Amino acid sequence: MTTVERPAVNTTRVWLAAPLCRAPEPSDRPVVRDDLMRTWVPAVGAVYCSADGRHRATWQQLRVQHDLVEVRTR
């Protein structure tokens, strides 16, 4: 029997927009990108800021309004 090694599975997280967001904010507060291709970074407190600094939102606001994808840095 031959053993085949497989590459690690990509574990990028995705959060789909949901009108009733009951899932808590991830404890690690990841950088995320929305469906309008804006990058959101965690700021002081429970707020996220767009990378350009023009927009602010809580995690719950982002979840209700946008599909979110974790931005992975390697």
- pLDDT tens for the chain, 74 residues long, are 555 555 455 678 888 877 666 667 888 999 999 999 999 999 998 899 999 999 999 998 998 889 999 997 66
Q: How many CB atoms lie within 10 A of CB 20?
A: 7
Beta bridge partners of residue 32, listed in sequence order: 40, 70
State the Cα–Cα distance between residues 15 and 37, nearest whole angstrom: 14
**What is the pLDDT at residue 64?**
87
**What is the pLDDT at residue 21?**
60
Length in residues, the chain: 74
**What is the pLDDT at residue 5?**
53
